[in-house]
Amino acid sequence: MSGASFPEIREAVARLCRDYPGEYWRACDRDGRYPREFVDALTKSGYLSVLIPEAYGGAGLPLAAACAVMEEIQRAGCNGAACHAQMYTMGTLLKHGSEAQKEKYLPKIASGALRLQAFGVTEPTSGTDTTRIRTRAVRDGDHYVVDGEKVFISRIEHSDLMILLVRTSPRDEAHRTHGMSVLLVDLREAVGKGLTIRPLRTMMNHSTTAISIENLRVPAENLIGVEGEGFRYIVDGMNAERILIAAECIGDARWFVAKSAQYAKERQVFGRPIGQNQGVQFPIARAHIQTESAAGMVARAAALFDAAEPCGSEANMAKLVASEASWFAADVCMQTHGGFGFTEEFDVERKFRETRLYQVAPISTNLILSHVATHALGLPKSF
Ligand SMILES: Cc1cc2nc3c(=O)[nH]c(=O)nc-3n(C[C@H](O)[C@H](O)[C@H](O)COP(=O)(O)OP(=O)(O)OC[C@H]3O[C@@H](n4cnc5c(N)ncnc54)[C@H](O)[C@@H]3O)c2cc1C
């Protein structure tokens, strides 16, 4: 059922997750508390650094292995959103960082001594149109001076480093994606010295924040790659991000389907299990079919990524079908549980809130449809 790739990893992650049952996540959710113990355990186990090459202290495994990790976390009822960014954000540093930067940071990220959980792209005024970001960095000797605002910057309070997208030259309509750069911000130096964090309460426990940046000095040596080319580096990391999030959605969907089937077998109404009614069993069967079909698309996208083949459309399609499968399964699970689905103790309402995010972030469904329409089908661009 699990697709069975990397069975040892799946089994070990599932075992680790058993120490973090529903009560643990419910308490974190209720208190808006970061699941530090879970993230620490996952970091110590090495599963967060599977994508880091062995030369830098990681396991050097393919993206399909990272997908197995994230999928199993969600399938166990846990929430990988507390730490998933470390997997894909690291790719920007690995792919585009200098050798000196990689040697300085990657082994420490792999060992858990440093946390790279935050990335700052979204801004209040630019929305999905990343080329309109206003946060700018001006070179001043051997530093950049950064000013701007970012929103929905998740896990920054639980991270040592942040990948930050800034404008280093003004937007030019003819070359909209040029003139943006990526800085690696050391949050241990930055917070309180130009960078201010304001937590944002959201409908699920996601440790997200708004940040304001004023006169923040970032050493020029923390520029990743070439100045002005940052947009390309961020886009480069998006395929991995989308495929990993899609795998999380598959894990969520499998959790909802299993939970629904179990409850439908046990719950007796009118003197028989509710799952004996086709009105109850058909939606669960449909959710299962959608989930397993989407899992095939996720596996295909990951395989293309691991073979270093172009996979932009496949990564987007995987994210869309997987997030729609998990959302459909969430709704079915809620309906199957009747009134009990709304109570905290069943974990259904929590997972329902958590999985809804993936219709919007890290990329919304409409933007995926637009990508596939224009890139895969050659339809005219609308923006
Ligand atoms: C909980 C949470 C955590 C997040 N974490 C991070 C993070 O750590 N770092 C980070 O940088 N960002 C983060 N984000 C931001 C996330 O990536 C954005 O919310 C997402 O990309 C959508 O951007 P937006 O919210 O500005 O929506 P908008 O761009 O304002 O769009 C609003 C709606 O309009 C639709 N829309 C916009 N333009 C078009 C169009 N041309 N055609 C059709 N439809 C359109 C969109 O699909 C969307 O449904 C997070 C968001 C959330 C909610």
Q: Which residues pair with 216 in a beta bridge?
A: 146
Rounded to whole angstroms, the Cα distance separating 373 from 366 reads 10
Lookup result for tokens 């080329």: 131
Is residue 237 in contact with ligand 1, taking CB distance under 6 Å? no
Rounded to whole angstroms, the Cα distance separating 268 from 258 reads 18
Alpha helices per DSSP H over 159-229: 187-190
Is residue 241 annotated as a catalytic residue, yes or no?
yes
241, 314, 349, 354: which one is catalytic?
241
CA of 308 to the centre of ligand 1 (A): 28
Residue 295 burial class via C-beta count within 10 angstroms: exposed 0-12, middle 13-18, buried 19 and up: buried
Instruction: Name the phi and psi angles at 318, rounded to 5.
Output: -60, -45
Is residue 256 in contact with ligand 1, taking CB distance under 6 Å? no
The total number of residues shown for the chain amounts to 383
CB 14 within 8 A of CB 6: no
pLDDT in tens, the chain (383 residues): 445 699 999 999 999 999 999 999 999 999 999 999 999 999 999 999 999 999 999 999 999 999 999 999 999 999 999 999 989 899 999 999 999 999 999 999 999 999 999 999 999 999 999 999 999 999 999 999 999 999 999 999 999 999 999 999 999 999 999 999 999 999 999 999 999 999 999 999 999 999 999 999 999 999 999 999 999 999 989 999 999 999 999 999 999 999 999 999 999 999 999 999 999 999 999 999 999 999 999 999 999 999 999 999 999 999 999 999 999 999 999 999 999 999 999 999 999 999 999 999 999 999 999 999 999 999 999 99
Instruction: Name the phi and psi angles at 50, rounded to 5.
Output: -60, -25
pLDDT value, residue 4: 67
CB 239 within 8 A of CB 315: yes
Q: What is the pTM of this model?
A: 0.97
